[in-house]
Amino acid sequence: MENITIGINQRIPIHILELALCAALQDDASPEYFSELAATEYKGGNRIKKAVSVINKLTIRNPIFGYLHEHSEAVLAAIKNKHNRPLLFGAIICAAYPFGFDTLNIMGKYFHVQEQVNTTLITQRMASKYGSNRSLPNALYCVLPMFIEAGLLNRPVAGIYEAIRQERYSEFTLSLYRKAFVINNPTYTENDDIDSNPFFEFVTKNY
């Protein structure tokens, strides 16, 4: 059994992540602002502190943030486009948290051959890598709602998930999604043939 840190312990609503990201891209982010954002969603000092830590990890401490900041105008434009938001936020979550990447990657394997995946199966497969403990279902409760809000997953009923295949996205947002893959798979480059990986099961090719 691998001993791998899960890392994420608080769900951040996508609208909060969007506000934090926009502030960071425009160099207006601060611990005080992130605390204010967290306090609109959570009560109690400990929960707010945990939320601020996750917001930081998703934005200014994200391995992909340097590239996002360098292309801030393109990112801000992508945020405003409903076809680009799912891949954009999916890339941000997965670049920050390998646990999020592994969740989508495992789900992609099953979505390749079936339309629906249930929570029990996801938990079992993730446990083979992260171990069976209370923090695992808690972490899934953090990332799965974020992927639903982002527009990568649909939950028709409790505990059942379906993939939302992305269409009409820009090449820029696809490049961000590819960068998130490479961050989690450093033996690959963006120029390699990576689109057949289960992580890209959520992407319908633009023709």
Q: For residue range 56-82, what is the model confidence (pLDDT) as tens digits?
A: 999 999 999 999 999 999 999 999 999
Distance (Å, whole) CA 110 – CA 46 = 37
Q: Considering the chain, what is the average pLDDT of its residues?
A: 95
pLDDT for 2 beyond 70: no
Q: Which pTM value belongs to this model?
A: 0.95
Q: What is the pLDDT of residues 81-97, one digit of tens each?
A: 999 999 999 999 999 99
pLDDT, position 191? 87
Tokens encoding 57: 């990890």
pLDDT tens for 166-193 read 999 999 999 999 999 999 999 999 889 9
